[in-house]
Structure 1
């Protein structure tokens, strides 16, 4: 926490940011997942509230994904119950579409699916502040809506609930966790009064990431110095030899958590037994998540196939909705490299020319930091580019094939951005739920 940020350390910078938030916004709530970052953020905000005698309660929004470590549920419940005098609690247990990367037969699974109650990983929590289908004042909820949309629309509802108040949702996101998070947080285009860590969602609804420049070491040092409570599953992670940056308490079926899915078998066997029955592909992914079977390491091309023909073969084995999703992504990529081109460094361009690749230069790429030259590929996309040593960020049928083998429905391996994916409603969701009423459930 002694790392310098401008003229202060990250803790002092956080205090300044929180002071700014409380002076600018009418209502503040924290998005609390039960993980280390959101847990620290909530503790810091509550300390600030008490120190500065802020009379209004802090909203706390917990989006419950049903399938999670028992210790996470215990920690969330304990945190809510111990702070009821200072918080306005919202524990959301509504059916929502959540991405799964553990198999090619389901793009989504649905926590708290009322059609599969017998398969729920755990029973519905019983508290007066639980929001579920029997107690749902959340008017912007649509039945089985995307989890990202649910969280976003919740802020809109909070604004309306507090009579048009200027609302800030505090997120425990840190830029150092990934380049994508860095780009999402440090957003000057949609910043608030020059504050790039505050982003607009709707009219009078903003998200803020006041610990965006903290490192993981800062998080644990703060917990130690201030004697904060935290999710004790992290102690078990540590004893199991999991690297701090790989510790995840999110949905066990998503892209970031699937590689460590097998930890449930060891750390929480009762939950593990239910996970196997809950979503297709769980047991297979836990065993083979870091092996060739999941495309994690290099694989051998089957005899008689090119990467292109093998990709088409794999596409033919997939359910229609999954196949259409991949074809749409692949077609977008092929069109991009044929008609616009991607920015590549000069060393790569030289190597492509020397190796005989049919390419054409197409001006400067404004999307690259140092204005690299755009390169278009003429003719068919290469089958593989294994002979190019300077980069892997060029198109090939092998990269497309890997996306299928890795259950990478979002095609991150090909460079697709999650933020773009979030703007796309898949045909699967549209077709299945097009007849469902806009509100979904009756407002109580």
Structure 2
């Protein structure tokens, strides 16, 4: 990798899904095929990371996500929720409802479809950000500034959030919201 001009700080391979490591996987495949074969044998996910990361780093929508042309981002998020298993979709609906309600309390009646920098690391609200969470299978919605719910409290949390969604009238009747 040194011969390819890659700085030492980007030569790490400790975690195949980290951003720096993803960007460098393709180099191992090209420059050091023996090491690439050893990495594929030892580290789970390296092969798919090398296939999908490439040089542009658009790995499974981590940097760039696209939606169907005939849908806006909110409709696409609802379509993604509708396509998931019901238990998983309900979990995401609870998290998204809390997210939307928080911004409603802060004065935003509805969040925009997109905003500049909304899929970066800063929490800039948009429906595109919500779609990114769903596409990345970010189960605990860390990209929406959530942390995992404690396992012993999870069932009670789900029931409470379902009641709150009815009260807030957010994502409570999913069939009528899906277009």
2:131 is equivalent to residue 331 of structure 1: no
Map of 2:129 onto structure 1: 399
Distance 2:36 2:151 in 1: 35
Within 5 Å, give how 1:202-213 maps onto structure 2. Answer: none
Map of 2:108 onto structure 1: 377
What residue ranges of structure 1 are gaps of 5+ in the alignment? 1-235, 342-375, 428-444
Shift in Å, 1:307: 0.2
CA shift in 2, pair 1:302/1:331, >3 Å: same
SS of aligned partner of 1:381: coil
Shift in Å, 1:306: 1.0
Distance 1:303 1:265 in 2: 35
2:35 is equivalent to residue 305 of structure 1: no
SS of aligned partner of 1:309: helix
Q: Taking structure 1 as the reference length, what is the TM-score of the superposition?
A: 0.26
What residue ranges of structure 2 are gaps of 5+ in the alignment? 155-179
- Which of structures 1 and 2 has the bigger CA Rg? 1
- Deviation string for 1:118-170 (max 9, x for gaps)? xxxxxxxxxxxxxxxxxxxxxxxxxxxxxxxxxxxxxxxxxxxxxxxxxxxxx
Within 5 Å, give how 1:113-128 maps onto structure 2. Answer: none
Shift in Å, 1:256: 6.3
Map of 1:253 onto structure 2: 17
Would the aligned equivalents of 2:112 and 2:125 in 1 still touch at CA under 8 Å? yes
Would the aligned equivalents of 2:52 and 2:59 in 1 still touch at CA under 8 Å? no
CA shift in 2, pair 1:309/1:251, >3 Å: same
* RMSD value, Cα: 4.1
2:41 is equivalent to residue 274 of structure 1: yes
- Deviation string for 1:277-301 (max 9, x for gaps)? x44954543348613862523x554
- Deviation string for 1:209-237 (max 9, x for gaps)? xxxxxxxxxxxxxxxxxxxxxxxxxxx4x
Shift in Å, 1:401: 1.2
- Deviation string for 1:242-277 (max 9, x for gaps)? 34444434331356644444345344222344369x
Q: Taking structure 2 as the reference length, what is the TM-score of the superposition?
A: 0.54
Shift in Å, 1:310: 0.9
Distance 2:18 2:91 in 1: 17
- Deviation string for 1:357-385 (max 9, x for gaps)? xxxxxxxxxxxxxxxxxxx312x332223
